[in-house]
Amino acid sequence: MRRLGALALLALSACGPDMAKGETGFETPQSGSAFLKPDTRALQSDDFANPGFLWVDRGEALFARASEGGPACASCHDGGEHTLEGVAARYPAIDDQTGELFNLERRINACRSRHQGEPPLEHESEALLSLTAYVAHLSRGVAIDVETGGAARPYYEAGREYFFTRRGQFNLSCHHCHDRNWGQSLRGDTISQGHPNGFPAYRLEWESFGSLHRRLRDCDTGVRAAPYPAGSDTYVALELYLAARANGLAMESPGVRR
């Protein structure tokens, strides 16, 4: 009953007229880690204790390993001109060859098929999570800076639309919790501004490492709406809106979350 109570309160606070679209409810973005309990935050900050580094290390090993059909990731992205340092902070981004929006997972799979002759890895598979963790980690401390104009515009608009749409049995949108009610307590969490910069991340509740899309599925499920599959077009577009909303915020993956 306590859970219903907390959500009912949020719904109540969400009854007023909706803010104009595009308004974020904060002046400067604040990382989700700022809303964690001190011990969880400390776990993230300690590279030896942070369990996310297991996935970064696995990703680094996969990155260096030659594939069946072609060269290793590392033989093309060996630092120098094709370094991947700072790259993740620009994702999701438009792929020039197809004109489609790629998040990091899609980009990695495109490199596998285009440059290694390998089949795509499944979203949330250990291998794709590890490679994504490794590439994201190469941008740790780099400010998010995604492009929202040009070919990216329709994706950005679709993501923003999703963010402001009420859904589920509780009839709440992302905006209600992460723009209007951040800083409030809910089910043992302090609601953050809902930024993507810590992902992929280790979640204590999952007892595992997961993608941003897995977190989005949890938020949709939390209001009793049907979640989209991880890797879906809907969540990739939403990912772009979230990144744009967080532009300027430093990348933190591998984050640790409750």
Question: How many whole angstroms separate alpha carbon 227 and alpha carbon 220?
Answer: 5
Q: Known catalytic residue: 219?
A: yes
Is 43 a binder of ligand HEC (CB under 6 A)?
no
Give the shortest CB-20-to-ligand HEC separation in angstroms: 18
Question: How many whole angstroms separate alpha carbon 248 and alpha carbon 43?
Answer: 24
Question: How many whole angstroms separate alpha carbon 225 and alpha carbon 168?
Answer: 4
Structure tokens at 198: 């810590």
Using only C-alpha atoms, the chain has a radius of gyration, in whole angstroms, of 18
Question: Please, which residue, 56 or 108, has the CB nearer to ligand HEC?
Answer: 108
Stretch that binds ligand HEC, among 18-26, 49-57, 145-153, 214-222 (CB under 6 A): 214-222
Q: Among 146, 158, 223, 256, which residue sits at the site for ligand HEC (rule: CB under 6 A)?
A: 223
Question: How many whole angstroms separate alpha carbon 52 and alpha carbon 201?
Answer: 6
Pick out residues in 100-119 that bind ligand HEC (CB under 6 A): 107-108, 110-112, 114-116
Question: How many whole angstroms separate alpha carbon 202 and alpha carbon 233?
Answer: 24
Is 196 a binder of ligand HEC (CB under 6 A)?
yes
Contacts of 227 (CB under 8 A, 6+ apart): 216, 217, 218, 220, 221
Question: How many whole angstroms separate alpha carbon 249 and alpha carbon 105?
Answer: 21
Question: Please, which residue, 123 or 215, has the CB nearer to ligand HEC?
Answer: 215
Question: How many whole angstroms separate alpha carbon 175 and alpha carbon 201?
Answer: 22
- Bridge partners, residue 189, by sequence: 186
Stretch that binds ligand HEC, among 13-21, 46-54, 139-147, 169-177 (CB under 6 A): 169-177
Give the shortest CB-150-to-ligand HEC separation in angstroms: 15
Is 250 a binder of ligand HEC (CB under 6 A)?
no
Name the residue whose CB lies closest to ligand HEC.
32
- Map residues 227-246 to x or -, x wherever contact with ligand HEC holds by CB under 6 A: -----------x---x----
Structure tokens at 191: 């609601």
Question: How many whole angstroms separate alpha carbon 161 and alpha carbon 96?
Answer: 25
3-state DSSP call for residue 221?
helix
- Map residues 52-71 to x or -, x wherever contact with ligand HEC holds by CB under 6 A: -----------x------xx
Is 129 a binder of ligand HEC (CB under 6 A)?
no
Structure tokens at 82: 């094709």
Catalytically active residues are 219
**Chain positions contacting ligand HEC, by CB under 6 A:** 7, 10, 32, 35, 63, 70-71, 73, 76-77, 84, 87, 107-108, 110-112, 114-116, 131, 135, 163, 172, 174, 176-178, 186, 189, 191-192, 194-196, 198, 215-216, 219-220, 222-223, 238, 242, 257
